[in-house]
């Protein structure tokens, strides 16, 4: 399937989605978000895909929602038309593992999109920020919520109130990204991580992701109970039998994803 604003590539059980609006530093418009929703729908339905990488260009992961498309919106346009709402959360609801590989600018909606992924690998040249305040608005796709959970109140407040960008090293220090890699190694590292994830049992990676995400939605005791129930359920899977048998027999596991 060819898309106007995305490039896609599948190798084995890993799919790579590249945001591709270079003329606008991958600014996120309705068409791009619709296409991203469509491709994620198709990867979620495809049993052969077990991990997805979302990336941009070396210059920009995404410089935010498309300001040129937003500037003339009225309140009624935005509210009644459900402006960029229906197609904005698909990465966050995607059930399989999804890794953001971020180089260059990840600003506004771009930073929010990266935060919807399961973890972020950042290139040395990556810059993260929520500059919406400089445009007379505030973050609208989780910037005040996910960023605060990831980096804490003080840094999230400073970023949202001043628009200050943080570089990759600071982003790693404050827990926004899992690690920083050389810019020219970003995709190599992302593919390696994605292949590793895809080599595990798919239902088990999906449940693990669900359990980590529950930490952001529940109390500790409810979250631990949710984890325990999922953990117990894993003894019903063929892959638990295979994984543990493989360990005992000193051989690599051959998961069947069931």
Q: Are strands 6-11 and 14-19 parallel, antiparallel or unpaired?
A: antiparallel
Stretch in the footprint of ligand DAK (CB under 6 A) among 41-49, 64-72, 194-202, 243-251:
64-72
Q: Please tell me whether residue 167 binds ligand DAK under the rule CB under 6 A.
A: no
Shortest reach from residue 32's CB to ligand DAK, in Å:
11
| Residues 1-40 as x/- pattern, contact with ligand DAK by CB under 6 A | -----------------------xx-x-------------
Based on CB atoms, which residue is closest to ligand DAK, 6 or 25? 25
Query: Which one of 16, 49, 63, 99 is in contact with ligand DAK (CB under 6 A)?
Result: 63
Shortest reach from residue 213's CB to ligand DAK, in Å:
19
Query: Which one of 8, 67, 173, 243 is in contact with ligand DAK (CB under 6 A)?
Result: 67
Tokens of 119: 């973890």
User: How far from chain centre, in Å, is Cα 82?
Assistant: 23
Spatial separation of the C-alpha atoms in residues 133 and 196, rounded to whole Å: 39
Residue 132 a catalytic site member: yes
Which is catalytic among the residues 24, 60, 63, 65? 65
Place of tokens 């999804």: 98
Shortest reach from residue 27's CB to ligand DAK, in Å:
3
- Main-chain phi, psi angles of 35, to 5 degrees: -65, -40
Strand partners, 14: 11, 51
Spatial separation of the C-alpha atoms in residues 196 and 127, rounded to whole Å: 26
Spatial separation of the C-alpha atoms in residues 155 and 189, rounded to whole Å: 28
DSSP single-letter state for residue 181:
E
Spatial separation of the C-alpha atoms in residues 194 and 99, rounded to whole Å: 7
**Residue numbers at the binding site for ligand DAK (CB under 6 A):** 24-25, 27, 63-68, 84-85, 88, 105, 107-109, 131-132, 135, 140-141
**Residues involved in catalysis:** 65, 109, 112, 132
């Amino acid at each position: 399937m060819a898309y106007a604003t995305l490039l896609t590539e599948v190798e084995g059980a890993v799919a790579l989605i590249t945001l591709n609006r270079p003329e606008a530093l991958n600014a996120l418009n309705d068409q791009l978000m619709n296409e991203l929703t469509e491709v994620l729908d198709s990867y979620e339905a495809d049993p052969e895909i077990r991990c997805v990488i979302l990336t941009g260009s070396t210059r920009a992961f995404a410089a935010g929602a498309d300001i040129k498309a937003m500037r003339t919106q009225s309140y009624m346009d935005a509210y009644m038309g459900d402006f960029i709402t229906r197609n904005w959360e698909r990465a966050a609801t995607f059930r399989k593992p999804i890794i953001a590989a971020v180089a260059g600018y990840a600003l506004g909606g771009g930073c929010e999109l990266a935060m919807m992924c399961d973890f972020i690998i950042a290139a040395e040249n990556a810059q993260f920020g929520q500059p919406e305040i400089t445009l007379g608005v505030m973050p609208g796709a989780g910037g005040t919520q996910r960023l605060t959970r990831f980096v804490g109140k003080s840094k999230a407040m400073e970023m949202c109130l001043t628009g200050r960008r943080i570089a990759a090293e600071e982003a790693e220090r404050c827990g926004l990204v899992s690690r920083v890699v050389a810019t020219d190694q970003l995709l190599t590292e992302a593919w390696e991580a994605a292949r590793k994830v895809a080599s595990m049992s798919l239902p088990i990676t999906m449940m693990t992701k669900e359990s980590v995400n529950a930490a952001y939605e529940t109390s500790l005791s409810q979250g631990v109970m949710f984890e325990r129930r999922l953990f117990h359920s894993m003894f019903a899977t063929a892959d638990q039998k295979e994984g543990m048998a493989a360990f005992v027999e000193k051989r690599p596991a051959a998961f069947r994803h069931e």
